[in-house]
Every structure is written in C-alpha cells, then in structure tokens.
Amino acid sequence: MTEQHSHQFERGTDGPKVIVVGVDGSESSFRAAAYAGGLARRQHALLAVVYVQPVMAAGAALGVPVSETTDEIAEDLVAQIREAAERVKGIYDVRWEFHTFRGDPFNGLVKAADDLKADAVVVGASEQAGHRIIGSVAIRLVKAGRWPVTVVP
C-alpha cells in the first residue's frame, strides 16, 4: 500500500516566479522597480509592476475627477516603464506586466500579491515623515508575513 501525500503549492522554493513591485511615481518606488527588475532578470521571473489607484484623493475635495487623475498617473507610469524597458532592450530581458488595483496602498498591494500569486514583494521606503509614527506600507507588508518583502531605500 502506498502512502498518499497531499502537495500544496509552495511559493519560492526554486526561486521566485512572480515578483510584485509597487510603484507610485516616487523616487523610492522607481528605485524599487529597478531593483525588482534586476531580481526578476536574474531569477527569470515575471515582474508584476503594480500601481494602486487611490479610491479617494485630495483632489476630490476640490472637484477634480479622481478616476481621471489616477488613470493619468497610471498611463504616465506605464510610459516611463516602457521607456526604461526600451533603453535596456537587447541588453537585459525582463518579462513584465503592469497592473492597477484600487484602494489604499497596503490593501491594494496585498490583493495584487495574492491575485498574482507573488513569491516576493518589493517596495520603496516611505518618504513621508508620518509613517515613522503610524507605520509605513512596507512595515505593514512585512508584518503580514505572507511573502518575503524587500524594502528599497
């Protein structure tokens, strides 16, 4: 009689296959994307570049259509990423996709990492002073304990 073993999907055992990186247009998020791109290239992993569109933005109070503004930010980020990818085409080959999720940055990145079955998450260090007190997105992702998280300064 043979013993049956139930196999569960185990992430990251042969190196990451999907690396999620959060971008928001900040310098630290672009450094995180560059770092994640290098990691994805070396690991032959898919780089999932994620922008989390805020549900409510400061512009909403001023009558600015929020969805149009965040769509423009997303389009601008895609353009910048494509431009960077073109500059290294033929030198470095990285498979990448761009995704947008709605919500606050923490919950948006959690949803992205879960939906995309991420093996690792890369984010830039927070550039906001208040995060030292209430905790940054990066710290909250680390505390979630669901994926290896790399915080790029």
Spell out the per-residue pLDDT of the chain, length 153, in tens.
444 444 444 554 566 799 999 988 888 888 898 899 999 989 999 999 998 887 654 555 555 555 556 677 767 777 777 776 666 555 567 788 888 888 888 999 999 999 999 999 999 987 765 445 455 888 899 898 899 999 998
* Residue 110, both tokens: 């959690």
Q: What is the pTM of this model?
A: 0.73
Give the per-residue pLDDT at 7: 40
pLDDT for 67 equals 55
Q: List Cα–Cα distances, 117 to 11, 84, 101, in angstroms.
A: 8, 25, 15
E-state strands within the chain: 18-22, 46-53, 95-102, 120-124, 149-152
Write the CB contacts of 23 (distance below 8 Å, at least 6 apart in sequence).
Answer: 29, 30, 32, 33, 49, 50, 51, 77, 81
pLDDT on residue 39:
92
